[in-house]
Amino acid sequence: MITLKQMDYALAVSKTLHFRKAAEECFVSPSTLSNAITEMERDLGFQIFERSNKKVIVTSLGIEVLEKVQSIQVQMHDMKRLAEKQSEPLSHPLSVGVIPTVSPYLLPIILPVIKKQFPNLVLKIEEGQSNSLVQKVKNGELDMAILALPFNLDGLISLKFWEEDFYWISHRENKLAGTHEIRANQLEYSELLLLEDGHCLKDHILDACQISSHSKHILKASSLVTLIQLVKGNMGSTLVPKMALKQLLTSHKELFQAHLNEPGPHREIALIMRSAYTGIKNAELLAALCEDSLSRQKS
pLDDT of residue 299: 52
Identify the band that residue 164 occupies on the pLDDT scale cut at 50, 70 and 90.
very high
Query: Between vectors from CA 70 to CA 51 and to CA 150, what angle results, nearest 5°?
Result: 120
pLDDT of residue 92: 80
DSSP symbol at 190: G
* Residues contacting 218, CB < 8 A, separation 6+: 189, 190, 192, 193, 194, 211
pLDDT of residue 85: 55
- Predicted confidence (pLDDT) at residue 203 exceeds the cutoff of 80: yes
pLDDT of residue 243: 93
- If one compares 52 and 255, the residue with the highest pLDDT of the two is 255
Query: Of 50-54, 70-74, 79-83, where does mean pLDDT reach its minimum?
Result: 79-83
pLDDT of residue 76: 79
- If one compares 163 and 212, the residue with the highest pLDDT of the two is 163
Identify the band that residue 111 occupies on the pLDDT scale cut at 50, 70 and 90.
very high
Neighbours of 15 (CB within 10 A): 14
- What is the average pLDDT score of the chain? 89
Query: 213-271, pLDDT tens digit by residue?
Result: 665 545 678 899 999 999 999 889 999 999 999 899 988 889 999 999 999 899 999 99
Query: 113-122, pLDDT tens digit by residue?
Result: 999 999 888 8
Give the domains, in start order, of the chain with CATH numbers. Answer: 4-82 (1.10.10.10), 88-163+267-298 (3.40.190.10), 166-260 (3.40.190.10)
- Predicted confidence (pLDDT) at residue 297 exceeds the cutoff of 80: no
What do you get for the CA distance between the two ends of the chain, in Å? 59
Under 8 Å between Cβ of 146 and 125: no
Task: Report the pLDDT averaged over residues 126-153.
Answer: 94
- Predicted confidence (pLDDT) at residue 82 exceeds the cutoff of 80: no
Q: 266 vs 43, 148, 166, 205, 241, CA distance in Å?
A: 54, 10, 6, 8, 8
Task: Report the pLDDT averaged over residues 181-185.
Answer: 92
Task: Report the pLDDT averaged over residues 89-104.
Answer: 90
* Cα 158 from chain centre: 13
Identify the band that residue 2 occupies on the pLDDT scale cut at 50, 70 and 90.
confident
